[in-house]
């Protein structure tokens, strides 16, 4: 959440000096305005970085939300593993198209490299335990009513499901192999 410090400082300086008053270049008020502006910029950058890091988890939960809307009952473990396999294969067509478009002897494009790296990372996560929302009866209702925001995920339960079919409880937000 971005800070509002700059607005407060601007309001205070305007009240003290008047609406159209000019500030001296090295005055205390100018320094306060500059530091408030730098702080707001820093906080906005951190918020954008945090949002970018959380985006992949939001997309994952959205996929499982859309995949389970038509299910009449909570899915079984093999069905959950099939959903995970579908999720892992979501970029296969684009990756195959990028490989087909590439001329022989040319290096892979940046997009192709990024897709391959994310695929390898997710495959490794699936071997050790793939982080997904718990698809049990009670949590499935919460997932279906989820509004798509990061803060709404705190009310749900999460699990890790690995390739062998082992299911273990997990925490939110995901940290390591919790």
At 133-178, the pLDDT tens digits run 999 889 999 999 999 898 888 899 999 999 998 998 888 877 766 5
Q: Are 138 and 145 in contact (CB under 8 A)?
A: no
Q: What domain range includes position 26?
A: 5-170
Residues 49-67 have pLDDT tens digits of: 999 988 989 999 999 999 9
Is residue 153 one of the residues assigned to a domain?
A: yes
| Residue 20 CB-half CA count within 13 A | 0
Domain-located, residue 36: yes
Task: Tell me, yes or no, whether 178 lies in a domain.
Answer: no
Assign residue 38 the CATH number of its domain.
Answer: 1.20.1440.170
| Region of poorest pLDDT, from 88-92, 109-113, 135-139, 174-178 | 174-178
Q: How far apart are the first and last CA of the chain?
A: 26
* Structural domain includes residue 135: yes
Tokens of 134: 């718990």
Give which of 98, 126, 125 is closest to 112, Cα–Cα.
98
Counted domains in the chain: 1
CA pair distance 63, 48, nearest whole angstrom: 22
């Amino acid at each position: 959440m971005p800070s509002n410090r700059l607005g407060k400082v601007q309001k205070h300086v305007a009240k003290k000096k008047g609406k159209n008053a000019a500030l001296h270049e090295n005055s205390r008020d100018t320094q306060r305005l500059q530091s408030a502006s730098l702080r707001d910029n820093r906080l906005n950058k951190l918020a954008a970085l945090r949002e970018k890091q959380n985006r992949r988890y939001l997309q994952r939960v959205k996929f499982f939300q859309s995949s389970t809307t038509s299910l009449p009952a909570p899915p079984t473990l093999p069905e959950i593993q099939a959903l995970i396999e579908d999720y892992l294969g979501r970029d296969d067509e684009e990756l195959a198209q990028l490989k087909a478009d590439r001329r022989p002897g040319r290096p892979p494009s940046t997009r192709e490299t990024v897709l391959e790296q994310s695929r390898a990372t997710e495959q490794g996560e699936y071997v050790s335990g793939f982080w997904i929302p718990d698809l049990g009866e009670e949590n499935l209702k919460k997932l279906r009513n989820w509004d798509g925001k990061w803060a709404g995920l705190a009310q749900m339960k999460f699990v890790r499901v690995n390739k062998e079919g082992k299911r273990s409880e997990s925490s939110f937000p995901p940290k390591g192999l919790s």
